[in-house]
Amino acid sequence: MNTPKKENKTIGIIGGMGPLATVDLFNKIVNLCDCKTDLEHPRVLIDSNTNGPDRSPAILRGGPSPLSDMVRSALTLERGGADVLVMACNTAHYFYNDIIPFVRIPFLNMLEETAKYIHEKGYTTVALMCTDGTTKSGVYHRELEKFNINVLTLNEKDQEITLQMIHDGVKAGSKTWDTVEITRIIADFAAAGAQAVIMGCTELPVAFSQYEIDSCLPTIDPTEIIARSAIRFVGVKVRGE
């Protein structure tokens, strides 16, 4: 008698914010799975929905809200068979609690998982590099405060330098970028007492890798952290664990 094939559980990615960051999350899920064959990998559904308005203007200036597009993505993935949801955008987690009531499956929170990771590493002061919407809304601060972790943020000039790399570099598809100022920013954070730096925009792990940024501090990659959490959730072994 033939044994029925075990159906792999399914991860659903709410993506498109932006597309390359979504690819980065999927790539990390694939590469972090300790699997020897295709059949051992989890099934992954991706909705790279690029239709929603920009998150930061919606959060900071009352611009058009992307919430309805995020909810549609979540429901599309749920109907497609996802067992768990993750979202490939830090800033979009401002809307996390507004999406939850619409779905019936677990939805892992990248910021919450990152805060847990930082606490487990024993860091008490970290630097945060991210978008305006993320820093000014305080979404990371609220998660880190639960563990009494101090957060250092960018000044206005350094925030603009970081945003230029995110938007004019990664999002615009530039393959090269002058990172001298980014390196200086991280050194300033280290001098101010930061023990590590959170790459708190999903384009930043892409930038740090693509532009070979030399960081004097340990870097914390929320994309990798949520990839590991999703893999564990669906019962697949994480490589190296």
Q: Any catalytic annotation for residue 216?
A: no
Distance from C-alpha of 135 to C-alpha of 132, rounded to nearest angstrom: 5
Pick the catalytic residue from 33, 35, 130, 201. 201
Q: Is 130 a catalytic residue?
A: no
Identified catalytic residue from 35, 89, 130, 216: 89
Q: Nearest-CA neighbor of 43 among 230, 217, 239, 241?
A: 230
Long-range contacts of residues 53-56, Cβ cutoff 8 Å, at least 24 apart: 55/17, 55/89, 55/91, 55/92, 55/94, 55/95, 55/131, 55/133, 56/91, 56/131, 56/132, 56/133, 56/134
For residue 156 the two structure tokens come to 């206005």
Dihedral, CA atoms, 137, 139, 190, 155, nearest 10 degrees? 0
Q: What residues contact 8, with CB distance under 8 A and at least 6 apart?
A: 39, 40, 41, 42, 43, 234, 236
Distance, in Å, from the CA atom of 197 to the CA atom of 149, rounded to the nearest integer, reads 13
Are residues 210 and 175 in contact, defined by beta-carbon separation less than 8 angstroms? Answer: yes
Kindly list the catalytic residues.
89, 201
